[in-house]
Amino acid sequence: MKTTKEIRRILRSVDFFSPLTDKELDVIAAHSECRNFGANQAVFSVGDPGNCLYVLAEGEVLVTKPTEERQSRDLARLIAGDSFGELEFFSSRQRTADARATKDSRLLMFPGGGVEFEELLAQYPQVLARALHSFITLIAGRIRSVNQLVSENSPWVQDLKKQVFTDKLTGLLNAAYLDESLPEFRGETSLVGGAVVMVKPDNFKEINDRFGHDPGDLAIIRLGRLLSDWAPQPATVLRYRGNEFCVLVPATNESGVRAFAEEVCSRIRELDWQEITKETELRVTVNVAVAFVGRDGATARELSDKAHELVFALRSSGGNRVGYVTDTE
């Protein structure tokens, strides 16, 4: 049984895991498992689900592909430190090749222990987004090395990004997208007036407690849809975490952002929720926190962190309020 530190060392040897921090690698390691395979034992076969990726810790693995003549063609002979099965794993496709150990071998599998990748994606979107980004960069480099180019708009790249950056409940982008967001939030342009607007309900827990989690989910979906309808275009609405939403507003005038924040607070306060609560009267109030590009931070991640802290402070001081990071510093 290998320790987390030993598993982290194995992961560090893999190209697309190597850029991750020790803390991020510990997340991967904690949800991995090591398994022994005897000589000539199959690791996977064509048509198997691509539900994990492998790192060869010890031994040797041969990857082959069946031919039309019912024979097999060798694709790769892998040794310790090599990874395989990543493409099918990240794209949720079935295996297109066979893999078997040619000698007694030990493989690290991620995820392991029966954990589903989607469960981990919901828990650790930022960590897995970084791993995915590193993987895409690595594959692009390999393809370019043989004078081809992988396009950011190619179907499989778009499919991978959709899985990592999309919230399954609302269909909105999730918090992982903040590290891949619009250029103006990376500090690459000096646009004036862009902002991050964070929205969090005061009494959302009441919906779950009184009416159950299904109505709670419907309420989250409704909030996401309304924010998407109200947000100034071309804004981007994310489900940040739980019942908290984040709106990325690109360059516009500051007064427009302030008007939008005030409008969200007042319009949600006036909403009728009886379609969800089944005739029971309920009013939901929210707190809205705003951080401006340049003044409060340069990247979407910096801005969202500050707005996230402020939105909780607003709630603690009475709720149903709009606040601005600049005004509190």
Higher pLDDT, 58 or 194: 58
Higher pLDDT, 157 or 34: 34
Residue 43's pLDDT is 95
Poorest-confidence range of 6-15, 265-274, 288-297, 319-328? Answer: 6-15
Do 211 and 153 share a domain, yes or no?
no
Domain span holding position 156:
126-165
Contact yes or no for 55/108 (Cβ under 8 A): yes
Contact yes or no for 282/207 (Cβ under 8 A): yes
Do 301 and 207 share a domain, yes or no?
yes
pLDDT tens profile 109-126? 999 888 888 788 778 887
d(CA 131, CA 19): 8
For residue 188, pLDDT over 80 is answered with no
Do 293 and 202 share a domain, yes or no?
yes
C-alpha 2 chain-centroid distance:
28
Collapsing DSSP states into helix, strand and coil, what is residue 46?
A: coil
pLDDT tens profile 117-170? 878 877 888 788 878 777 777 665 555 544 444 555 556 666 667 777 888 899
Residue 285's pLDDT is 92
Residue 265's pLDDT is 94
Q: Identify the CATH number of the domain in which residue 271 sits.
A: 3.30.70.270
- HEC string for 53-117: EEEEEECEEEEEEECCCCCEEEEEEEECCCEECHHHHHHCCECCCEEEECCCEEEEEECCCCCCH
Do 68 and 210 share a domain, yes or no?
no
pLDDT tens profile 240-269? 988 999 999 887 778 888 999 999 999 999
Q: Identify the CATH number of the domain in which residue 81 sits.
A: 2.60.120.10
Which pair of structure tokens corresponds to residue 326?
């600049």
Confidence of residue 307 (pLDDT cuts 50, 70, 90): very high
Confidence of residue 272 (pLDDT cuts 50, 70, 90): confident
d(CA 324, CA 321): 10
Cβ burial of 40 (10 Å; 0-12, 13-18, 19+) is exposed
Do 209 and 318 share a domain, yes or no?
yes
What mean pLDDT, rounded, does the chain reach? 83
Q: Which helix (H) or strand (E) holds 305?
A: helix 300-316
Do 183 and 275 share a domain, yes or no?
yes
Distances from the Cα of 16 to the Cα of 120, 162, 263, 323, angstroms: 18, 19, 44, 40
Do 106 and 36 share a domain, yes or no?
yes
Residue 247's pLDDT is 93
d(CA 143, CA 139): 6
d(CA 124, CA 302): 18
Collapsing DSSP states into helix, strand and coil, what is residue 145?
A: coil
Residue 126's pLDDT is 79
Instruction: Mark which of 106, 135, 165 sits at the end of a domain.
Output: 165
Do 186 and 95 share a domain, yes or no?
no
Confidence of residue 180 (pLDDT cuts 50, 70, 90): low
Percent of the chain surpassing pLDDT 70: 85
d(CA 44, CA 24): 28
Confidence of residue 306 (pLDDT cuts 50, 70, 90): very high
Percent of the chain surpassing pLDDT 90: 32
In the chain, how many domains are there?
3
d(CA 55, CA 13): 9
Which pair of structure tokens corresponds to residue 26?
């510990």
Residue 146's pLDDT is 44
Do 158 and 220 share a domain, yes or no?
no
Mean pLDDT computed over 211-219: 88
d(CA 173, CA 164): 9
Do 218 and 324 share a domain, yes or no?
yes
Do 89 and 225 share a domain, yes or no?
no
d(CA 289, CA 314): 8
- HEC string for 207-257: HHHHHCHHHHHHHHHHHHHHHHHHCCCCCEEEEEECCEEEEEECCCCHHHH
Do 85 and 196 share a domain, yes or no?
no
CA-wise closest residue to 223 among 285, 178, 180: 285
